């Protein structure tokens, strides 16, 4: 019995589009992302470039039926791997908001915190694209 590839649905197209857009920013403006690489990690520019390339590979892989399963799994892994950068961004903005105390800094910090739980639906979409979730 031949196993079929998961269908290309709106959520998967959205995830692929998000990856490809983010990858373009990672490669065109790496300095923007260097600031959120966890402080303990070395070679921040190289990590930003590597994550941008990984996003291109995952994004394109999600769009093709033959590579969707492996790309879905790789996408879920990538989303978990970059989660510490999102946490770092929130921690840095928490300090900035506390130090500055202005409404703009507090609002930006709140946005970074609100963004963190959004990783989980993205991971679920990636796992659905891999055929691991229904």
Encode pLDDT of 65-115 as tens digits.
Answer: 999 999 999 999 999 999 999 999 999 888 888 888 778 888 988 999 999
Query: Sorting pLDDT into bands at 50, 70 and 90, what band is 40?
Result: very high
What three-state secondary structure class fits 70?
helix
Q: What whole-number percentage of the chain has pLDDT above 70?
A: 98
Supply the pTM of this predicted model.
Answer: 0.88
Q: DSSP labels for 84-119?
A: HHHHHHHHHHHHHHHHH--HHHHHHHHHHHHHGGGH
Rounded to an integer, what distance in angstroms lies between the CA atom of residue 54 and that of residue 24?
A: 11
């Amino acid at each position: 019995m031949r196993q079929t590839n998961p269908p290309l649905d709106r959520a998967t197209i959205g995830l692929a589009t998000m990856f490809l857009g983010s990858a373009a920013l990672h490669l065109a403006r790496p300095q923007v992302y260097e600031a959120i690489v966890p402080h303990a990690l070395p070679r921040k520019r190289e990590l930003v470039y590597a994550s941008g390339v990984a996003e291109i590979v995952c994004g394109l892989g999600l769009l093709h039926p033959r590579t969707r399963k492996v790309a879905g799994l790789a996408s879920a892994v990538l989303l978990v791997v970059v989660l510490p950068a999102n946490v770092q961004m929130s921690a840095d903005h928490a300090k900035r908001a506390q130090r500055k105390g202005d409404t703009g800094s507090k609002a930006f910090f709140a946005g970074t915190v609100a963004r963190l739980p959004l990783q989980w639906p993205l991971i679920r979409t990636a796992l659905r694209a891999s055929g691991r979730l229904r």
